[in-house]
Structure 1
Amino acid sequence: MKSDLQYYVNNLRNDLPASIVVFLVALPLCLGIALASGAPLFSGVIAGIVGGIVVAWASGSHLSVSGPAAGLTVIVFNAIETLGSFNAFLLSVVVAGVLQLLLGFLKAGLIGAFFPVSVIKGMLAAIGLILIIKQIPHATGYDTSFDGDESYMQETAESSFFEVVDALEGISPGATLVTAVSLLILILWETKLFKRSGLLQLIPGPLVVVIWGVAYNSLATQFAPEWVISYKHLVALPELGSVENFVSQFRLPDFSQLGNLKIYSIAVTLAIIASLETLLSIEAVDKLDPHKRIAPTNRELKAQGLGNIVSGMVGGIPITAVIVRSAANINAGGQTRLSSFFHGVLLLISVMFFAGTLNQIPLACLAAILLQTGYKLAKPGLFVAFFHRGWNQFLPFTITVIAILATDLLLGITIGMAVGIFFVLRANFHEAMTLTEHGSHYLLRLHKDVSFLNKALLRKHLTAIPADSDLIIDGTKALFIDQDILETIADFLAAAPDKNIAVEVQGFEVACLVPGSGH
């Protein structure tokens, strides 16, 4: 316990600045996702607080950040409409949390191990591109909403590119200047010159960006009103002012709806989609973790289940592990779960006491932070690296990126998985066995697992053996030989004498091939 405490203390200097960055990124997203979900604005903030304070400690991941997810907005919106009240929907969130707990105890988290690396990296790159596309309107001060900025919904593909074009046509000079200087600050903060300064490294670049944005707008208000960033492009947080007002925002589930079957059908949908998004995010975070730590997926499902139970009980929308906030956490230098925990604490304190101050932050500052995060997730070098790995890696990676941009996260991942599985089967098909020739002597070697999928290839090899030949079938390296393969070999053994082919079987018993044959 002491060593764990020491570990957290040693990383405080990295985790505290990172938590500020995650907080600044999470705050408008919590509000925007609640708005897009048709839920009370404050329910998004509650979900973000629960994701930070509760899930961070229950989770086995050090760097994952949980909170309301844009991928669930359509489901939440339709569910509230179907049930007729937000309080009834909260009961579905609680039940979904219970189901996620059960999935964790049933060890359903192992599904996460079956996502190919090329597909996970493709998902990250696609999210990076989505971030860049969705932040350009805020970067230029175009009058659009913040609610879709983390979204993988259909509207991303259909409208985002048009939003980018409109944003470039309707540039606001003030917002664009703030974004440009903010990006310059973030780039400088990454240079070796700035990294050498111990004092500068204590101050996170994104915090400097926020200070710059607030200072700029304050000065512009006094000296250059035409360059002021309008209130529509500033953070919009409800001002509560006290703990009592904060507690009064809580809403309880409507337990009188326990007999309503729609509650449970919605809960099952929420539990499945939220669990899949969480497992995808956890796999992606493990790939981004500079320490290459592996988070226990079953524990993560339990943590998310606990988080959704708590969120539903106090009036919050559903939560999942979220890759955008997690990537921002890693990008900002977060090392342990403390950064996620402190981001939840900052959300809590800010909505209670400092909403007025935070409402002065231009969205252009946050857009710059997310543009940098998006670039790091979708660097051109990543595409080049996968191209050099070969088509079996490059195609699943690229198709996943395109599919997510054209559809949504889960459908895009499904398409990417299908392509990835095709290449795995293709590689397995060719590598399961090899046939080598030396004069009239042939060696058919079976490698690792040989399944019914390889039956066609086996028949091809056996047909290629000419009459009056010697054949060795070597199965010493095969860990598993499917019954279909055994029967195909048995049929060949039975017919071989007719073509004067001498066959020797190594590594497995001939008797198991032709029962009762006496071999």
Structure 2
Amino acid sequence: MFSKIKNDLPASIVVFFVALPLCLGIALASGAPLFSGLIAGIVGGIVVGALSGSQIGVSGPAAGLAAIVLTAIGTLGGYENFLVAVVIGGAMQILFGILKAGVIGYYFPSSVIKGMLTGIGIIIILKQIPHFFGYDANPEGDFAFFQVDGENTFSEIFVALNSISLGATIVAVVGLAILLLWSSVLAKKAKIFQIIQGPLVAVVFGIIYFVLTKNNAVYGISSDHLVSVPVPDDFDSFIGQFSFPNFSVISSADVWIVAFTIALVASLETLLCVEATDKLDPEKRVTPTNRELLAQGTGNMISGMIGGLPITQVIVRSSANIQSGGKTKLSAIIHGFFLLISVIIIPTILNMIPLSVLAAVLLIVGYKLAKPSTFKAMYKAGWKQFVPFIVTIVGIVFTDLLIGIGLGLAVGIVIVLLKSYQNSHFLHIEDKSNGKHKINMTLAEEVTFFNKGAILKELDSLPRDTFLELDVRKTRYLDNDIIEILDDFAFKAKERNIDIKIISERGIAENPPSFIEFFKLRPKSA
């Protein structure tokens, strides 16, 4: 694991700087104590990172759960009561892993997964534009279209452009220039620029700029444009930031409902993220999904026990890890330790980091997820890939992550059903022989009730005085619904002077009196 430390250490620094404001912002958007977000980030990095089978995935508090957490805290009567649901939800995830439920992630089409990645990239870009210009009224990590401040994703950008902070914008522009120069020019010039990463340099520049312009009314950066980490006065006040679950409410039905909701949504988000990060992995490694559910469940139980938010694998942090060159799980683990050390030792320094420079880092991450070349490649792949891809993106941008994925999946299923309807059989019409049209119909390898409409339409459209040759030699599964349609057709065929010849692996039969009896003699599945 330590063999790739030269790649994992710089990547972990980038992930740390990406994760820090997100942990705080998601806690803020969730209506939970700010420290709870940091706890979830630390547990997600160290505990889940160590237990997970994913080499490049990074876990922590997820924006997708913020609305659920916000509602649940009020419903359950307090944060300590909510923590009980987090612990139970973690236990349920462990049960999901034991029951091998991780396979569900493989049933999501590639077009939907790519749409999810691209949609999240666009959301990252749109959500960071206000922070880039120093407008920070909206909590970091609020990824929903309609926001808690009454604005939406796009209106927030226009408000930000009318409320530009000059100092924050200067830091963001210079930081973005450093990142682009570092990745496209300097990293190719000397090894030192590969060891020291551009995001770290950009953040250091932001801190120095803040210190030098602290008292300048025009070019300075105000405190509401900075990272805000809780600063304890002493060890007792640090310990006092932890919350513990109130297990006296464990018998409440509401607690169990919230727990199941957390387990289900967190598991689904994790499995989708696993599928997405595996696609982004340059080495194309495959994450064991059931082990991932066990790791996430363990992480959620520990996080809930010490006052942390629910945890999932998170695509923003995972993609930042991949784009920064992370190779093994050591990157996620080190980022967790960085979070832990920073909140204990250097919270004051962290509170000097401008949010605008972190926005510049996330803009690069977002662009790498939503490259124009991705749209071009999906368009060239054909409409069956492009339509679910676009629907997923639009759904994510204008609603939220799970709704967008659900819409993309629904469109993907409709396309599958449509193609199944079209590909149930092959029809070939020959010239007249013996005064009758000869028509060859070859059934597909698997013919299910989805194909009823197409086959029924073809049979009903056969003209009178036809000779139908029905070839089922390649058919390995024939649904009973289809057999009944054929049996009904055999009765109608006599009235229309249609002769039927069946060719199967068992032999040939002409005008069988009953298709049901014929297929009883032939196994429906081979």
Fold similarity call, TM over 0.5:
yes
CA distance in 2: counterparts of 1:188 and 1:214, whole angstroms: 19
CA distance in 1: counterparts of 2:233 and 2:171, whole angstroms: 29
Q: Deviations over 1:346-378 (max 9, x none)?
A: 000000001111111111111001111111111
Q: Deviations over 1:178-226 (max 9, x none)?
A: 111222222222226632422211111111111121122233337x552
Which of 326, 329, 333 pairs up with 1:334? 326
What residue number does 1:5 align with?
A: none
CA distance in 2: counterparts of 1:272 and 1:86, whole angstroms: 20
- 5 Å-filtered alignment, 1:33-432, equals 33-149=26-142, 151-152=143-144, 154-155=146-147, 159-191=152-184, 194-221=187-214, 225-240=217-232, 245-432=237-424
The answer on whether the counterparts of 2:145 and 2:397 sit within 8 Å (CA) in structure 1 is no
Which of 507, 512, 515 pairs up with 1:513? 515
CA distance in 2: counterparts of 1:505 and 1:145, whole angstroms: 68
Question: Per the alignment, do residues 444 and 202 of structure 1 end up closer, same or farther by CA in structure 2, a change over 3 Å counting?
Answer: same
Q: Deviations over 1:382-437 (max 9, x none)?
A: 22222222221111111111112221111221111111110111112112211122
The answer on whether the counterparts of 1:97 and 1:307 sit within 8 Å (CA) in structure 2 is yes
Question: Per the alignment, do residues 205 and 475 of structure 1 end up closer, same or farther by CA in structure 2, a change over 3 Å counting?
Answer: farther
Question: Per the alignment, do residues 475 and 188 of structure 1 end up closer, same or farther by CA in structure 2, a change over 3 Å counting?
Answer: farther
What residue number does 2:470 align with?
A: 473
What residue number does 2:499 align with?
A: 501
CA distance in 1: counterparts of 2:498 and 2:17, whole angstroms: 78
Corresponding letter in the other structure for 1:513: F
CA distance in 2: counterparts of 1:199 and 1:188, whole angstroms: 14
CA distance in 2: counterparts of 1:30 and 1:434, whole angstroms: 56
CA distance in 2: counterparts of 1:447 and 1:187, whole angstroms: 53
User: 246-255 vs 161-170, which deviates more?
Assistant: 246-255
What residue number does 1:3 align with?
A: none
The answer on whether the counterparts of 2:145 and 2:398 sit within 8 Å (CA) in structure 1 is no
The answer on whether the counterparts of 2:321 and 2:331 sit within 8 Å (CA) in structure 1 is yes
The answer on whether the counterparts of 1:467 and 1:501 sit within 8 Å (CA) in structure 2 is no
Question: Per the alignment, do residues 326 and 242 of structure 1 end up closer, same or farther by CA in structure 2, a change over 3 Å counting?
Answer: farther
Corresponding letter in the other structure for 2:452: K
Question: Per the alignment, do residues 354 and 419 of structure 1 end up closer, same or farther by CA in structure 2, a change over 3 Å counting?
Answer: same
Report how many residues are paired.
510
CA shift, 1:148, in A, is 3.5
User: 155-164 vs 64-73, which deviates more?
Assistant: 155-164
The answer on whether the counterparts of 1:93 and 1:318 sit within 8 Å (CA) in structure 2 is yes
Give the secondary-structure state (helix, strand or coil) at the position aligned to 2:147: helix
User: 293-302 vs 13-22, which deviates more?
Assistant: 293-302
> Root-mean-square deviation (CA), in Å?
2.3
Q: Deviations over 1:427-450 (max 9, x none)?
A: 121122111223243321222221
- The alignment's TM-score, normalised by the length of structure 1, stands at 0.93
CA shift, 1:153, in A, is 5.9
Corresponding letter in the other structure for 1:71: G
CA distance in 1: counterparts of 2:196 and 2:236, whole angstroms: 33
Corresponding letter in the other structure for 2:499: I
What residue number does 2:524 align with?
A: none
Higher-helix-fraction structure: 1
What residue number does 1:491 align with?
A: 488
CA distance in 2: counterparts of 1:375 and 1:501, whole angstroms: 63
Q: Deviations over 1:243-273 (max 9, x none)?
A: 6654443222112222222211211111111
CA distance in 1: counterparts of 2:71 and 2:516, whole angstroms: 61
Give the secondary-structure state (helix, strand or coil) at the position aligned to 2:284: coil
The answer on whether the counterparts of 1:28 and 1:146 sit within 8 Å (CA) in structure 2 is no
CA distance in 2: counterparts of 1:504 and 1:247, whole angstroms: 79
CA distance in 2: counterparts of 1:284 and 1:67, whole angstroms: 16
User: 386-395 vs 90-99, which deviates more?
Assistant: 386-395
The answer on whether the counterparts of 1:54 and 1:307 sit within 8 Å (CA) in structure 2 is yes
Question: Per the alignment, do residues 472 and 248 of structure 1 end up closer, same or farther by CA in structure 2, a change over 3 Å counting?
Answer: same
The answer on whether the counterparts of 1:433 and 1:445 sit within 8 Å (CA) in structure 2 is yes
Which of 444, 449, 456 pairs up with 2:446? 449
User: 468-477 vs 402-411, which deviates more?
Assistant: 468-477
Question: Per the alignment, do residues 31 and 500 of structure 1 end up closer, same or farther by CA in structure 2, a change over 3 Å counting?
Answer: closer
CA shift, 1:516, in A, is 7.1
CA shift, 1:502, in A, is 4.4
CA distance in 2: counterparts of 1:128 and 1:450, whole angstroms: 40
Q: Deviations over 1:276-332 (max 9, x none)?
A: 211221121122111122212222111111111000111111111111111111111
The answer on whether the counterparts of 2:126 and 2:157 sit within 8 Å (CA) in structure 1 is yes
CA shift, 1:115, in A, is 1.0
User: 499-508 vs 432-441, which deviates more?
Assistant: 499-508
- The alignment's TM-score, normalised by the length of structure 2, stands at 0.91
Question: Per the alignment, do residues 36 and 493 of structure 1 end up closer, same or farther by CA in structure 2, a change over 3 Å counting?
Answer: same
Corresponding letter in the other structure for 2:184: T
Question: Per the alignment, do residues 30 and 518 of structure 1 end up closer, same or farther by CA in structure 2, a change over 3 Å counting?
Answer: closer
Does 1:463 find its partner at 2:455?
Answer: no
CA shift, 1:14, in A, is 0.9
What residue number does 2:10 align with?
A: 17
